[in-house]
Amino acid sequence: MFNIAKYDEAGSLDEALAFLSGHPAAKVIAGGTDVLIKMQNGKMGEAELFSIRGLAELTGIKRTADGAIFLGPLTTFAQIAGDPLLQKAIPVLIQAAVSMGGPQIRNIATIGGNICNGAVSADSAPTLLALNAELRLQSAGGERKVPLREFYLGPGKVDLRPGELLIGIIVRPQDYLGYHGHYIKFAMRKAMDIATLGVSVLCRVEAGGVLSGVRIALGVAAPTPVRCPEAEAFAEGKTGSDETLEEIGKLAVRSAKARTSWRASKEYREHLVAELVPRALKEAMRTAGGEEHV
């Protein structure tokens, strides 16, 4: 038995927003794979749960008229993994989705929950950060848009105000069209594990193997998922030679603020950044067909 004091369900988005404005203490639950586990572990006191899992309007993946990809926050990881549109448009997001948990968890865990939970190890986070994803947040008082990059405030802390719900995740066309990406989850097991480190990269490869628009994001390398601006700036316009990639990896370490945890030491994590960023870029370049230029 979970320590649940009260349980309510939303029938519609409007109803949900109205309820949340009147019950700011309510804990929103969707897939439950974070909330219920925290409760099971005793990390959460008696909770008033508010389920939004029935809100069909917050589920699904579509391309909007302007070419942007819109992810409903209640879309499960399994739905993302099997989505033909994403497979064509943003395959790196599928890579990230498939790396999360195991099948039973992916069948129920939602992408919105993964973001709002604010976990530094969230498998979707580095890739969505590299995609410059934007979040649509709505409360009874109105709507605002927040870049994912600004949404993470600290470990387990996000810029979600009382009464607010994440209602959409948007990837603009200029952020994915023509880009190739790769996600590496470094963990002790191939499934059912939390990342020791996550690296997601996106880049364009111009004629002659020249890199442009390189975006590098790391998970579990700092108190929040982070981008690597120094490494990204250095990479711009460079030919993706082994030496250049190695240098990009070294620069990426500067953006990391790794710490020692029981999973890995700070030094080990930094080593992983320096090693995995070039590997991920190499793989992204390979999928771009740029390998022969290197």
**Shortest CB 78 distance to another protein, Å:** 8
Q: Which is nearer to another protein, 176 or 186 (CB)?
A: 186
* Alpha helix positions (H), the chain: 13-22, 35-40, 77-81, 84-89, 91-98, 103-106, 111-116, 125-130, 148-151, 173-176, 229-235, 242-255, 266-287
**Shortest CB 8 distance to another protein, Å:** 9
**Shortest CB 83 distance to another protein, Å:** 15
Q: Which is nearer to another protein, 109 or 235 (CB)?
A: 109
- Residue 25 burial (10 A CB sphere; 0-12, 13-18, 19+): exposed
Q: Which is nearer to another protein, 41 or 207 (CB)?
A: 41
List residues binding another protein (CB under 8 A): 1-4, 6-7, 32-33, 36-37, 40-41, 49, 51, 53, 78, 98, 101-105, 107-108, 190-192
- Largest Cα separation within the chain, whole Å, is 62
**Shortest CB 69 distance to another protein, Å:** 24
Q: Which is nearer to another protein, 5 or 65 (CB)?
A: 5
CA distance 57 to 10: 12
Cα radius of gyration (the chain)? 19
